[in-house]
Amino acid sequence: MELRHRALHVFCLTDALEKADATQALRVDAPTLPLDTAVVLPWPEQPGRPPQPIQVHPKDVPRRTPFTAEGHAALMHSIAHIEFNAVNLALDAIWRFPDMPAAYYLDWLRVAQEEAQHFKLLQAHLRACGYDYGSFPAHDGLWTVCDNTRHDVVARMALVPRTMEARGLDAIPLIQAKLRKVGTPDALQAMAILDVILEEEVGHVAIGNQWYHWLCKKNALEPGAFYAQAAIKHAAPRPKPPFNLEARKRAGFSDAEMQAMTAAA
């Protein structure tokens, strides 16, 4: 099966662990698969998802304090849900958008594989704590921006990796600070998992930055102006402080971009 067709097949799988395993297998098999960058694939309405967790409005997601066993599990479940969505986001970037360089598809396949590993680490942690993926309600905010940009690869690169996923660079150190205060073995294990996720998410956001600027140059777009317009058009959330400026710089944000973001906040 051609690489983008297979990415679409994995995207449609409904079992979360099966999807994670299939994503990692796709990365292994990629060097042997043909790549048809020109084909336009049929679009499913939504990614494949398990029946649980149920989807609720963000305000109805349970409180996620790490200072109780259930609160710790709910917090880690929320991060597992983000990582599951991130697998779908990366697969979507592969199959949905034709006519990109081969390196683009391989970059997003790397992202998908690493997001799948993040999900599996969190799923194993949840099970060790007596819970599972699906034990708590979740919301669909991350997928909303992905769906809003389904017809525009430039807007997708602007708003999903550089806005939605970059928020994780800011949030993870704050979560780790809370876990450090708890200090239990579960909290320390969760901190170690988040160390892995943070480091690899820097690379994911960097990939988004790289392809965003490549697309802007190709289409004669001014990156700052296009981003501002796309954020309004596609209802992207505004970044909120505190910002992890060191991680954002490593991920490819310029000093000027970070100064503008800080001033706007």
pLDDT single digits (tens) 156-189: 999 999 999 999 999 999 999 999 999 999 999 9
DSSP state letter for 234: T
The rounded distance, in Å, linking the Cα atoms of 34 and 262 is 44
Q: Would you list the domain boundaries of the chain?
A: 3-264
Residues 184-212 as b/e (b if ≥16 CB within 10 A, e otherwise) read eebbebbbebbeebbeebbbbbbbbbbbb
Report the CATH fold assignment for 3-264: Ferritin (1.20.1260)
What's the whole-number average pLDDT of the chain? 94
Paired tokens of 34: 């043909």
pTM, rounded to two decimals = 0.95
Q: Which helix (H) or strand (E) covers residue 240, if one does?
A: none
Q: Rounded mean pLDDT of 27-39?
A: 96
Amino acid symbol at 38: A
**Whole-angstrom distance, CA of residue 188 vs CA of residue 253:** 30
